[in-house]
Structures are given as structure tokens and as C-alpha cells.
A and B are shown apart, each in its own frame.
Chain A
Amino acid sequence: MKAIPLHDAVALIPDGASLMIGGFMGVGTPHRVIDELLRQGRRGLTVYGNDTARPGVGIGKLISARAVRRAVVTHIGLNPETQQQMLAGETEVDLVPQGTLIERIRAGGFGLGGILTPTGVGTVVEEGKQRLTVDGRDYLVETALRADFALVNCSMADYMGNLAYALTARNFNPVIAMAADTVIVEANHIVPVGVIPPDQVVTPAPVVDYLITND
């Protein structure tokens, strides 16, 4: 793990990169990273996340700035801009059931090729997918997902990169931290090693590549 300033961390991300971004309606989203992506003018991004929050909040800022080429999310109902861009064909939006999206990401981070889920069988979600019957029940084959970068927000990171999360800000964060080539962490608090007891560490230090320093 390397501790680097915000500017340098975001400079690692090229135009057109695929990003998994933590957060649920902006709660648990790395807001400073998103602001810096916009400041540096990044374009053509593919974003995996639960939702696009609201206009002006979290991933919603990237949508408003037209920095996103493709969004793979579960819900855009609270962001009319995403819906407008989708219906106008300006932004590609793949809508995925929430339990399927998180489990596809988990599979990507856990060395699995995909998962079998009953969710979506017999609906439009099934289109183009393989159906398997196991012990008499039908499942869809849903492939694993990985990204170039995971942009993780946590409540505490220690000097080595062990991470702990707060309440409902956990959501997608520990899962995406396993599923990207490069893991960048924005911590609300950076604390000495030992402050997070070993059994309270949710994301172990070796999976973290960069911890953004508090400037």
C-alpha cells in the first residue's frame, strides 16, 4: 500500500477507465475522489455502482458532467438526469438487479467465473443469458465483474491500509475492494496501526493499493 495525495491518486485513472464506486445514494461514496475526477476532466468512464444518487450528489455529479459513457447500476429512479440521458441514448445504462450486481462483483473479486441466481428468471433480465436447472430449480448464469479501479470509501484506514466501515456506508465498498486491478481508498479517518482491532478489520491491508492522504 502506498499513501499518496488526492491529485496523484486520481491522475492514475485514465479517460475511458472502468470504475467500481462505493456508495448507496451517495452514502459511503468517496466524494473527494469524484470531485477530483471532475476537476481533472476525466471522460468516457464506465461506472459500476448501486445507483447514480441524485443530481449533484456522488455519482450523480459524474452523470451531470457527462463524464460517464456507460453506467452499470441497479436504480436510477431518484436521478432524473440519468433517466433522461438513458432515454435520449446519450449514456448507456445497464440496469441490473441489486442482489445480482453485488454478487457478480463479489464473484469477480473471489476468483469465480460467475454465479447462478434465481433472480430475473422469466423476465427481461434473462435475455441473452444461459438458464441452468439445478435440483429442479431454474437459475440464470450471471458472469463475474471486475474493473480497472475500485474507488472505496471507508470510515477508518490505518497506516498499513486495513479498513473499517461505518453503519450503512459499508454497502458496496468491501466487495468492490476485492474486484479491481487497482484499489484506491478515501478514508474519513486515518489512524495508527492497532486502532482498528484485527477482528474489526473488514478489508485487509494487502488488497489496498493506494490510500489517499488527508491534506
Chain B
Amino acid sequence: MDAQTIIARRIAQELQAGMLVNLGVGIPTQVANYVPPGMPIFFQSENGLIGTGPIPEQGMAHATLTDAAGQPVTALPGASTFDSAMSFGLIRGGHLDMTVLGGLQVDEQGRLANWMIPGKMVPGMGGAMDLVVGARRVVVAMQHTAKGRPKIIRQCSLPLTSTRRVDLVVTELAVISFADGRATLLETAPGVSIKDVLANTEASLVVPDHVPSMQL
């Protein structure tokens, strides 16, 4: 199983029936592929859609039914559409149960940086700052390291997305919770030891006596 699949499958286990969930671009989008069969989830696209469905079949795209990247999607039964003020009212106003975003860095206090690398990559924050501030639960989906360097570090060197701490970080090596304000190792991926995780993490991790393996 590749890294992205491990991450997406594990995060899908965080879903609960009836949740309103926003998935960011990249690995987060793949979480939708692993929703437990029969579990109703409302996926929001911040461009103004709740009830986002799969990519339409060839030739069935509609010019005004798109996701936040402008790509054609479908709408599931029970879907709704609205303007951008409403969309971010849902996000900021505490109506969004969970957001899943990508990450560049997460620090020891659970603060996320995911929107720019000064001088190099300046995509803009889009909806990320509102999502991290407003969602009831913030889950970060990212690779554990970038070019061999840890992404879970003592202090973010990149501009923060928010000072609000994230709840959960899921990587291809581990599940790390920040629920009590400290980075706590909850699970390791199959075949990955606690030592492997620690060797690839700069932030100090709380390691409980029992750390189970992810059940994928």
C-alpha cells in the first residue's frame, strides 16, 4: 500500500455518519474513496456545494457543477448549492464537523503551516485559514517527511495557517494526536516501529505504553 493510500484509508476511519466534511486538494481528496459503504457523509466544496459526488463519466460533465479546483464533479441526492459568503459561514460558523488538509509543517504545539514557502511557492491561502479556524475537528493528511527531513518539528519555520492547534495528523508512518496540547503518538503504520517514527520526527512525541498498529 503506498503512502497516500495508507493516509487516506486511515483518515476515512475518522468519518461518522451525517458529518459535514471538507476535503482539501491532494491526499485529502482521496479520503472520499474510502468512506465505509452505506455511511452517509456530506462533503462540502468551498466554492459552494454540499453533496459533492464522484467525477462524472466521460461526456457527462456540467459546466456549472465543479469543485474548488474548477474540475467537474457530480452532486449526490440531497445536495445543495450556495454563494461563497454562505460557504464560509458554514466553515467559520462552527457548522463544519471536520476538515482534512495537506500540510508543509506541523509543530510541537499542533500549529499548521500549509499555505506558502516565502520566495518560492506562493499559492495563497484560499480557504485554508478559515477551515483551520472554523472546523470543529482539523485533521492533517501529509507525508511524514519531505526529502528525508521531518515535517513534524519543534517550531514551524514557515508562515502559520492558524494559531489554532490541529486535532490529528495522519502520515504514512503514524497517527499523532494533539488533543491535549502535546504531540502524542496514537498509532504506527503496519511494519513501522516506534523507533522509526521517532527517527523521522523532530518534535518531541509523547509515547504511551501501548501504541497499536493502524488497522487498515
Chain A residues at the B interface, C-beta cutoff of 8 Å: 24-28, 50-51, 53-54, 73-78, 83, 86-87, 95, 97-100, 102-103, 106, 117-125, 155, 165-175, 202
Complex interface residues of chain B between 60 and 89 (CB less than 8 A to chain A): 62-66, 68-70, 75, 81-85, 87-88
CB-contact partner of B129 in A25, A76, A119, under 8 A: A119
**Residue B59 is within 8 A (CB to CB) of chain A in the complex:** no
Q: Given A167-B64, A174-B83 in contact, is the A125-B122 Cβ separation under 8 Å?
A: no
Is B124's CB under 8 angstroms from A95's CB? Answer: yes
Is A98's CB under 8 angstroms from B163's CB? Answer: no
CB-contact partner of B127 in A74, A117, A120, A174, under 8 A: A74
CB-contact partner of A27 in B64, B75, B123, under 8 A: B64
Per-residue CB contact flags for chain B residues 15-56 toward chain A (1 = under 8 Å, else 0) read: 000000000000000000000000000000111110000000
Q: Given A170-B48, A174-B83 in contact, is the A95-B125 Cβ separation under 8 Å?
A: yes
Give B45 Cβ to nearest chain A Cβ, in Å. Answer: 7
Is B160's CB under 8 angstroms from A123's CB? Answer: yes
CB-contact partner of B124 in A74, A166, A168, under 8 A: A74
Please, which residue of chain A has its CB at the minimum distance from the CB of B161? A123
Q: Given A24-B47, A98-B46, A166-B64 in contact, is the A87-B127 Cβ separation under 8 Å?
A: no
CB-contact partner of A24 in B68, B75, B123, B159, under 8 A: B68
CB-contact partner of B70 in A27, A87, A172, under 8 A: A27
Is B48's CB under 8 angstroms from A98's CB? Answer: no
